[in-house]
Amino acid sequence: MYSENYSEYEIIDAHAHIFPHKIADAATVNIGNFYDLPMHSSGSSERLVEHGNEVGVKMYLVCSTATSPHQVNAINKFIAKECEKYPSFFGLGTLHPDSDKIDDELADIKNFGLHGIKIHPDFQKFAMDSKQAYKIYERIEGDLPILIHCGDSRYKFSSPKMVATIHRDFPKMKIIAAHFGGYSQWDEAAQYVAGLDNVRVDTSSSTKFLGKQKTKKMIETYGIENCFFGSDFPMWDQKSELDRLFELNLTHEQYQKIFAENFKSFFNIHKVK
């Protein structure tokens, strides 16, 4: 329906998950079970690129989450290896607040050439504004950006109000508050997350539930310059997510900011490979 538009833009997928090939199918099923949603693909690097190529995606922020401390090193090595294999990948490492090796793991993340941290409080089962989480923020504020899964009305680990608390205590920390700042808690996100300095949001796992008018309102609330396009692959594919955004009838300049320019500015990227 909107295929003629894709080539007009530089597109960066700012939120994608990948898993080792041998567990990609099982990991994808587990995510689907957690959210009680059908998955759109298998979470392998190959499938991510295959879907992205359909609409000309130039770069993918790729990440995974350690649900226990002992997984951290293996996941970070995997992400780094995949980034070497796929030049279009822009990797984030993961940390777990219960680890007693956070300093060493942060050093590894930098040595691996990864560009920030991804945490998922609901999967990792800690409140994002807890003392244990603050062990991470204290170490990365002013240094590495962090992508945080935000929102889930079923849990109390990642509510949007907590983003405001974290920002108050760590104002120099660069945060991407995923899912428009609060999956299934979008009204609360608009109240507490919008307007915070150094905080950006991505569109992932939101537009299908919000609908056209509310999606547009969320973008207006946060400001075009604070929004990144993200698919949340393998939950969704890039084409369907882009098509829903194209229904908003924004200007070419506004779309280009959401699709790539805002992301490049946030991460100080001068040229996409």
Q: What is the pLDDT of residues 196-211, one digit of tens each?
A: 999 999 999 999 999 9
Work out the average pLDDT over 207-220.
98
What CATH number does the domain located at 3-266 have?
3.20.20.140
The reported pTM is 0.95
* Residues 16-67: tens digit of each pLDDT: 999 998 887 887 887 878 787 777 778 999 999 999 999 999 999 999 999 9
Domain locations in the chain as residue ranges:
3-266
- In 10 A of CB 56, how many CB atoms? 15
- String of DSSP letters for the chain: --HHHHTTS-EEEEEEE---HHHHHHHHHHHHHHHT---SS---HHHHHHHHHTTTEEEEEEE---SSGGGHHHHHHHHHHHHHH-TTEEE-EE--TT-S-HHHHHHHHHHTT---EEE-HHHHT--TTSHHHHHHHHHHTTTS-EEE----TT-SSS-HHHHHHHHHH-TT--EEETTTTSTT-HHHHHHHTTT-TTEEEE-TTTHHHHHHHHHHHHHHHH-GGGEE----BTSS-HHHHHHHHHTT---HHHHHIIIIIHHHHHTT-----
* Tens digits of residue pLDDT in 223-264: 999 999 999 999 999 999 999 999 999 999 999 999 999 999
Closest listed residue to residue 106, CA positions, set 94, 118, 121, 97: 94
User: What pLDDT is attached to residue 4?
Assistant: 54
Give the pLDDT band of residue 173 (cuts 50, 70, 90).
Answer: very high
Q: How far apart are CA 95 and CA 76, in angstroms?
A: 9
